[in-house]
Structure 1
Amino acid sequence: MEFNLLAVLIAALSSFVVGFIWYNPKVFGTIWMKEAGLTKEQIEKGNMLKIYGLTFAYSFILAFIMMPVLVIHQMGAISMVGGSQLVENAKPSYLAFMADYGDVFRTYKHGALHGFISGIFLATPVIAINGLFERKTWKYIAIQGGYWIVTMTIMGSIICGWK
């Protein structure tokens, strides 16, 4: 099983697609700006190259770590033999295991499930904690948490299902 860089890149880009829809003024954009205490003028003054560049970098990091840790179970087995570069030296039990289970649960649906669970139990609590200390409203926390639940669901689906 090889690392699928293209799947990680597309998963990272999916955060933009979801964001363009989620934060559209006709969806949650207007409410989010109000709850964040931002005006349209402040949004327009932002350094968009920096914002979008760093957003892609962080989305890539998230998608990159989702692959081996959260959505593809077989990556754990590969790590037990020291990584993909050492697979040829693995014991016969590893090879038998991978022959039996190498593609088990490698579906878009299964990846979406793990992405969804990760969004609920990893991303949303972090956002909620930050929001509480920043004195943000529950509406703000729900919008931000919802975005990451949807985004991580899609990321997980792409990463796990794309073989």
Structure 2
Amino acid sequence: MDNINWLSMILSTITPLVIGLTYFHKKVFGKALSDSIDTSDKKLNKFILVIVSLILSFFLSFFLLNFNNDGINQEGDFDTFGHGVWHGVFIAITVVSPVVIITETFGLKRWKNMLIIICYWIITLALMGGLLDAMNHWENVIVS
């Protein structure tokens, strides 16, 4: 991809953090998740958590940007928010879900945990993919 829309990269990079703050809030799914795992002895440095999350989210955004735009006939009609959402959901279901299930199963976690985390990633990657695909092809979106 020659011309990257850096605003789309910034928005996509902060999406997991924004969605996570909302999704894992104690009034949404945070209480259900923390009730099903032992978090009593865990002390997280929130500053480090945010920095690491943003760095890894940037890598994820860069991957999604290239995944959305590589391949034959990937320009034109396919450069839409919906197409990017499809790519995000596809990655969440075929890559992230198996990784979460394998990791959580070995960690003897409950299915409830896995489903909460998988749904978070489906929503997050769908929005990230949609933002990246649409914002890097404004000319195609506006003309359509």
Q: Is the TM-score greater than 0.5?
A: yes
The CA deviation at 1:64 is 0.6
Aligned residues: 135
Aligned to 1:29: 30
1:23-52: CA deviation from partner (whole Å, max 9, x where unpaired): 01111001111223113x74xx31111111
Distance 2:126 2:87 in 1: 7
User: Is the 8 Å Cα contact of residues 68 and 76 (structure 1) preserved in structure 2?
Assistant: no
Query: Cα RMSD between the aligned structures?
Result: 1.7
Distance 2:29 2:88 in 1: 22
Aligned to 1:51: 49
Whether 1:148 aligns to 2:143 is no
TM-score, scaled to structure 2: 0.86
TM-score, scaled to structure 1: 0.76
Distance 1:130 1:60 in 2: 23
In structure 1, stretches of 5+ residues that fail to align are 78-96
> Max radius of gyration: which structure?
1
Kindly report structure 1 stretches of 4+ aligned residues shifted beyond 3 Å: none
Distance 2:14 2:113 in 1: 23
Whether 1:106 aligns to 2:83 is no
Distance 2:44 2:16 in 1: 19
- Counterpart selection for 1:63 from 58, 61, 71: 61
Q: How does 1:1-163 map to 2 (within 5 A)?
A: 1-39=2-40, 42=42, 45-69=43-67, 71-72=68-69, 75-76=70-71, 102-163=75-136
